[in-house]
Structure 1
Amino acid sequence: MGSRGAALVTRHRRNVGLLVRFGVVGASGVVVNMLTLVVLRRYGPHFDDAVVALGSSGFNLRWYHVYSTIAFLVANLTNFQLNRTWTFKSNLAAPWWREYWPFLAVGLVGQVIGLALLTLLMHPDSAISLPRDVFDDSSGLRNRLYWSQLIVITVVTPLSFVLNKLWTFAAVRTARLGLLEERQDDDVRVE
């Protein structure tokens, strides 16, 4: 195998490792997200109650939208810190705020997509609404909000990984490319 092939294999292994670490951080984020959601559901208004009507559309901003967004913000912050220090190891490559704003922006894009999906899963007239006879909210395992939130997280996570790897934590990739170029320059000088 030539040097290009070896570099490709190394890059592939690194990407798989990043994906696995991102998944572990994501799993911890799911726990943080769901615990936040459980606390908000338990101590706040009923999650199906309307907060604001959205015109004559038949749709409303409901407490589950608010709860989902708060849970997202808490999990987003913990995921960012873990991804920054462990997954992408960018804490030495870029200032905290410089990476957090893109991470938050990526998360907010995912959250908007997630809120649309959450609405479709929760709204009784939606074609993909979770069946109320199965998810009757009689227990935590039969709670529509919890299952809807888990589905949303599962759908949005791959998009979040790709966007964060390519944009948010690009400083690490840029630093690695700079080191690789320096090494190649040094090799050329030695020859």
Structure 2
Amino acid sequence: MPDVESPGLLRRLKSYAATSVLSPRIIKFGIVGASGVVVNMGALYLLTEFGKIPYFMASVIAIELSIVSNFVINLLWTWSDRSGEGTFWGKLVRYHIGAGATAFLGNYLILILLTEFFGMHYLLSNLIGIGVGTFANYLINDLWTFRRKQLR
């Protein structure tokens, strides 16, 4: 287990943050993420209001649609300069694990919590949940899904 207070670890994290915060990649990631928000919110609204699917079930479908659309755009644009390790399918699986974890923990649970326990409208709850998972999602994608190919 790495020592969280280690000066080396802190230095590496600060260096990573400094080079990533305003990089073209993070700007692209933000644009792709915004398109994913539109896909997610649009699907959630349409499935709930017109499909008459309960919001908590419609959200699962909306999350999956946004994960797939974001994966394709991120693969072709945001991280197009990285061949990474593995095949298309391997990247898709890694993306689903990472995006699925952040979507479930950051999006879905907050959607349910804010809507059911605090009476917030489901669309506003969903938007807040998406925001919560965004930072973790970027880190997972940059460091794992679309990681640089290791030289051997």
CA distance in structure 1 between the aligned counterparts of 2:44 and 2:82, rounded to whole angstroms: 29
Alignment correspondent of 2:47: 40
Name segments (4+ residues, structure 1) moved above 3 Å: 90-94
Query: Deviation at 1:44?
Result: 2.5
The match for 1:101 is 93
- Hey, which of these two has a bigger chunk of helix by percent? 2
In the alignment, structure 1 residue 79 sits paired with structure 2 residue 54: no
Partner of 1:45, secondary structure, is: coil
The correspondence for 2:128, drawn from 140, 151, 154, is: 151
Q: Give 1:157 deviation, angstroms.
A: 0.9
Structure 2 SS opposite 1:38: helix
| Partner Cα distance (1:39, 1:45) in 2 | 9
User: Mapping of 1:1-191 within 5 angstroms?
Assistant: 12=19, 16-45=23-52, 63-89=54-80, 92-93=83-84, 94-113=86-105, 114-123=107-116, 126=117, 129-130=118-119, 144-170=121-147, 173-174=148-149, 178=151
Change (3 A) 1:75 1:95: same
Segments of 5+ residues of structure 2 without an aligned counterpart are: 1-14
Evaluate the alpha carbon distance shift between residue 92 and residue 166 of structure 1 in structure 2; reply closer, same or farther with a 3 A threshold: closer
Residues 158, 105 of structure 1: alpha-carbon distance in 2 compared, 3 angstrom cutoff: same
Q: Report if the CA contact (8 A) 1:99-1:168 is conserved.
A: yes
Q: 2:52 aligns to what SS in structure 1?
A: coil
Q: Deviations over 1:21-56 (max 9, x none)?
A: 10000001111111111210122336xxxxxxxxxx
Structure-2 separation of matches of 1:13 and 1:160: 14
Q: Is the 8 A contact 2:103 2:130 kept in 1?
A: no
Seq. identity, %:
30
Compared CA separation, residues 13 and 112, structure 1 to 2 (3 A): closer
In structure 1, stretches of 5+ residues that fail to align are 1-7, 47-62, 132-143, 182-191
The answer to whether the 8 Å contact 1:69/1:111 transfers is no
Letter of the 1:118 counterpart: L
